[in-house]
Amino acid sequence: MTEALMTNRIAHPEAELPIDTAARRLHSAGWNVGEVAATTHWLVTATNGENLIRAVADSQTAAWQLATEQARAVEMLRSQSAPHVVLKVLGKCDLPANEVIAWCSAMLDNDRVGFIARESLQSLRHRAQASAGR
């Protein structure tokens, strides 16, 4: 990790690094990812059952960026994850609050990995509950 990235991580521990963003985006698009540091380069590998990505670069950040570019090239990386699009729509639509609450609860209950926009789902559910007077 470069000194600038390390300094940013120490000053802003909640800030997401480019590496974190790349890993999260690949994982949310269905890729299993991993990385290895060698003496002269970084290797990021990813597989989704059909495709294999092998990204080699001089830095960790560059390897992750290359991996995301490769996933995008085979059209296996969405620009925005589907749950986030649905959450945006649900936040603005006129569905009855009890239906929004039920959908959010079902998504949270069925998220076996703990990765599906948990905070956004909880926030939307709380807003719907507040509007329903619960």
Record the pTM: 0.50
Q: Do strands 42-47 and 52-57 pair parallel, antiparallel, or not at all (unpaired)?
A: antiparallel
Choose the final residue of a domain: 46, 73, 100. Answer: 73
pLDDT above 50 (res 104): yes
- HSE at residue 121, side-chain half, CA atoms within 13 A, is 17
pLDDT above 80 (res 43): yes
- HSE at residue 51, side-chain half, CA atoms within 13 A, is 19
Whole-angstrom CA distances from 50 to 20, 34, 46 are 24, 16, 11
11 and 66 belong to one structural domain: yes
113 and 51 belong to one structural domain: no
pLDDT above 50 (res 6): no
36 and 91 belong to one structural domain: no
pLDDT of residue 76: 77
CATH number for position 47: 3.30.160
Whether 19 and 60 have beta carbons less than 8 Å apart is answered as: yes
Residue, of 83 and 127, whose pLDDT is higher: 127
Provide the residue range defining the domain that includes 34. 3-73
13 and 56 belong to one structural domain: yes
Mean pLDDT of 103-119: 75
Choose the final residue of a domain: 41, 73, 105. Answer: 73
pLDDT of residue 44: 95
48 and 95 belong to one structural domain: no
126 and 104 belong to one structural domain: yes
Instruction: Read off the pLDDT band of 95 (50, 70, 90).
Output: confident
67 and 7 belong to one structural domain: yes
Cα-only R_g, the chain? 18
- The count of domains in the chain is 2
Instruction: Read off the pLDDT band of 112 (50, 70, 90).
Output: low
